C-alpha cells in the first residue's frame, strides 16, 4: 500500500489526494503536522532523494529561520534531520512512499505510472 506524508491543508497535497483517488489507488495518509515525523523516516528520505529534493528552501518556514538555524540545518545530516523534525513545513510535499521508492513533490506522470 502507498503511504503519503504531508499536511492536510496544502494545494499540492490536495492534487495528490485527488489523483490517487481518481486512479483508485489505496493509500495511508500520515499528517506530520499532527503526528510528527521520526528521524528514521527523514534519514531514509534523505538517503534516497538527497537534501536538495527533501528540503524546501522556497517556503516561508525556511526564510523565517535565522541564519544560524539555516546554517545548523545545512552543517550536517543530524542537524538537517533535527530541523526537519522540528519544522515539518521544511519538508517538500507530498512525500509518497511506494514499493519502488519515494516520489517527492506532486508529479502527476509519476503518480499515473503507479497504476
The pairing of strands 2-6 and 27-31 is: parallel
Active-site annotation, residues: 10
Measured in whole angstroms, the distance separating CA 48 from the mean position of its chain's CA atoms is: 12
| Contact present, 95 and 83 (Cβ < 8 Å) | no
Rg for the chain, CA atoms, rounded: 14
Are residues 95 and 101 in contact, defined by beta-carbon separation less than 8 angstroms? no
Amino acid at each position: 500500500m502507498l503511504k503519503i506524508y504531508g499536511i492536510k491543508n496544502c494545494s499540492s497535497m490536495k492534487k495528490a489526494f485527488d489523483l490517487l483517488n481518481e486512479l483508485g489507488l489505496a493509500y495511508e495518509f500520515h499528517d506530520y503536522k499532527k503526528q510528527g515525523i521520526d528521524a528514521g523516516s527523514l534519514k531514509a528520505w534523505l538517503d534516497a532523494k538527497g537534501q536538495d529534493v527533501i528540503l524546501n528552501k522556497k517556503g516561508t518556514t525556511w526564510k523565517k529561520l535565522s541564519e544560524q538555524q539555516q546554517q545548523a540545518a545545512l552543517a550536517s545530516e543530524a542537524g538537517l534531520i533535527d530541523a526537519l523534525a522540528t519544522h515539518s513545513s521544511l519538508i517538500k510535499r507530498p512525500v509518497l512512499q511506494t514499493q519502488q521508492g519515494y516520489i517527492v513533490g506532486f508529479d502527476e506522470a509519476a503518480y499515473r505510472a503507479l497504476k
